[in-house]
Amino acid sequence: MSTKKSAINKDIVLQAAKQSFIKLDPRIMLRNPIMFVVELGFIITLFLVFVPDAFGGDVSTGFNLAVAFVLLFTVLFANFAEALAEGRGKAQADSLKKSKKEITANKVSGSSVKQVPSTELRKGDVVIVAQGEMIPGDGEVIEGLASVDESAITGESAPVIKEAGGDFSSVTGGTKVISDRIKVRITSDPGESFLDRMISLVEGAKRQKTPNEIALNTVLVSLTIIFLIVVITLPFFADYLDIRLEVPVLIALLVCLIPTTIGGLLSAIGIAGMDRVTQFNVLAMSGKAVEASGDINTIILDKTGTITYGNRMASEFIPVGKHSRQDVAAWAALSSVRDETPEGRSVLELLKNQNLSFQESVADGAEFVEFKAETRMSGIDLPDGRHIRKGAVDAVKQWVAGQGGMIPDDLQANSNAIASAGGTPLAVAVDQTIYGLIYLKDTVKPGMRERFEQMRKMGIKTIMCTGDNPLTAATIAAEAGVDDFIAESKPEDKIAVIRREQAEGKLVAMTGDGTNDAPALAQADVGIAMNSGTVAAKEAANMVDLDSDPSKIIEVVSIGKQLLMTRGALTTFSIANDIAKYFAIIPAMFMVAIPEMEVLNVMRLHSPLSAILSALIFNAVIIPLLIPLAMKGVAYKPMSSSQLLSRNLIIYGLGGVIVPFVGIKLIDLLVQFWV
């Protein structure tokens, strides 16, 4: 998995500080109603500094100035949190913009090729890109094969192979061809490329609030309106008791009552959540996708490349009938002499490691037969008329039987034994005779069982999809520790299982890279497409993994849960804070006129004015103190929902009550010397 690339540096902090003042514009502040109320409070108290008797009050100018000063910094700290979160995304966007250059494209026009600026290319145009040239726009390789440097997009220096057809035909504008030559059909118009979308998304220009964020924001605004009504009506009740409540005191009460802490950090939490996904080289098309990943109930994963390494290698030669291991190895090697697949090369490597031999000269002048999905076999036709084949056991059996050959009695038993061990058996035959089996072994990645156990603790069901036979699939599933599996799966099987899970009210995530995965990726609640995959897969998904690592879906789910936990934890902490503020301000407001209220002054604060200022100062400084937590996120540990709730209530609920009591008392000890 990619390491985190984004970091807070001096330039980002300075830019965020500058943005904090720019965001004081009331038109911008209106987007955050809670902090807008605080800003209005600042404006009113600042007005009272210059016109202290405007509302007939007798509070000192110094107190008015102190309240105005604290309210200003409360708003600035909230703006700083949001600007800091945005700054990390904008820094990455600036880096991406540097890689976006004006490129000259070799556009195919009829039978000729002419050079045009990349900005003139339109969807459907065909271009030729040779070694050393930049790919002028997003597209699909329709002819040729080339090695492409995608470090400008992914940050990874290792080149990737792109070829016509299959699941690795997609290319991204701004990347560089470092070998060979390809013909590319452009699939996006100017301004709509993958790089353009990345820049917009990481800048946050198109960030939309998620459903949970909107719901929480609605609750917070409702609380603000309720407390605003309470504070406006409070002086009328106080007058009835012959208690005069000054305007600055009422403003201080309102600011301390409304959920300013979470109100100031809510936007930063959402932006930072998307940024954390981006740091892991995953591009989320929306914040909704990140948030949905935190509520996932079921994950569908391909076996090959996700749960296992995917590089099936020959590990043993197994003879059948009366043949020897040497016979199997020799014929298997001859069938693999011109086989450039990893499996074919591994056969020759195994023969060499086991000190077995074969006559390579026998294959001189032979005709190689490539593997085809229809035949499920490959091999070689020797000049002397003999035909050697290796491939799926049932396909080879059918081929041999078609020539009148006999099937060894122990073939099926040995084949089942390999499948039971989680391997793939390949039969080796020459004309009418089956000599034995090649045991191909695909190893489960280390730590996968532990990771699936973590998923289980999080209440997430894992389903493995594989084209293997049921016996092999069951063995791999047991070794990896997944909850369920689908053997001999086809694209429609994935859609069926997604719909089945969704019909039960569950949210489903899956990964894919091919065109045939596109329908399932679109159907899934969280679909992660591989950057190396096809355009269709990337357009259907709501996330794109730039590193093309299918197992990263597990990290994405953890980040989504961390986002939800962070928002919930800070909301709990913010509301719990208010309890201490009530004990600081309410007694301070009334205990002079109502001495009995002194019993509520449990913190023994110095005076009414010092109590109000201490609560207000704590309300302001807690925001910057919580910025690192909002940016980094609450540490997530796999456990059940009830355990998480209990843990967070103790840490952020009880902690949110205790910390303000301590903080306000310490601030009061300092403020009393000035008041």
Beta bridge partner(s), residue 314: 440
Query: With contact defined as beta carbons under 8 Å apart, do 523 and 498 qualify?
Result: yes
With left for phi above 0 and alpha for psi between -120 and 50, is residue 404 left, alpha or beta?
A: left
- Residue 374 annotated as binding site: yes
- Residue 308 annotated as binding site: no
User: What does the alpha-carbon distance between residue 434 and residue 396 come to, in Å, rounded to a whole number?
Assistant: 8
Place of tokens 């002086």: 235
Catalytic residue chosen out of the listed positions 125, 275, 302, 545: 302
Query: With contact defined as beta carbons under 8 Å apart, do 440 and 424 qualify?
Result: yes
Amino acid at 253: L
Q: Name which of 270, 183, 210 is nearest 570 in CA terms.
A: 270
* Residues 6 or more apart whose Cβ sits within 8 Å of residue 163: 141, 144, 145, 146, 169
- Residue 375 annotated as binding site: yes
- Residue 47 annotated as binding site: no
Amino acid at 466: T
User: What does the alpha-carbon distance between residue 490 and residue 211 come to, in Å, rounded to a whole number?
Assistant: 34
Q: What length does the chain have?
A: 675
- Residue 386 annotated as binding site: no
The strand pair at 170-171 and 313-319 is best described as unpaired
The strand pair at 176-186 and 126-130 is best described as antiparallel
Question: Phi/psi of residue 467, each to 5°?
Answer: -85, 0
- Residue 372 annotated as binding site: yes
Q: Name which of 279, 280, 277 is nearest 563 in CA terms.
A: 277
- Alpha helices (H) along 241-373: 247-257, 260-279, 287-293, 325-336, 342-353
- Residue 490 annotated as binding site: no
- Residue 598 annotated as binding site: no
Query: With contact defined as beta carbons under 8 Å apart, do 299 and 510 qualify?
Result: yes
User: What does the alpha-carbon distance between residue 273 and residue 471 come to, in Å, rounded to a whole number?
Assistant: 41
493 is known as an active-site residue: no
Show the tokens assigned to 387.
Answer: 């035909």
- Residue 371 annotated as binding site: yes
**512: number of Cβ within 10 Å:** 30
* CA distance readout (Å), 622 to 17, 73, 615, 628, 630: 17, 11, 11, 11, 12
Query: With contact defined as beta carbons under 8 Å apart, do 290 and 272 qualify?
Result: no
Q: Name which of 240, 292, 321 is nearest 553 in CA terms.
A: 292
- What residues are designated binding site? 339, 343, 371-378, 390, 513, 517
Q: Could you list the active site residues?
A: 302
Q: Which residues are annotated as a binding site for Mg(2+)?
A: 513, 517
Which residues are documented as binding site for ATP?
A: 339, 343, 371-378, 390
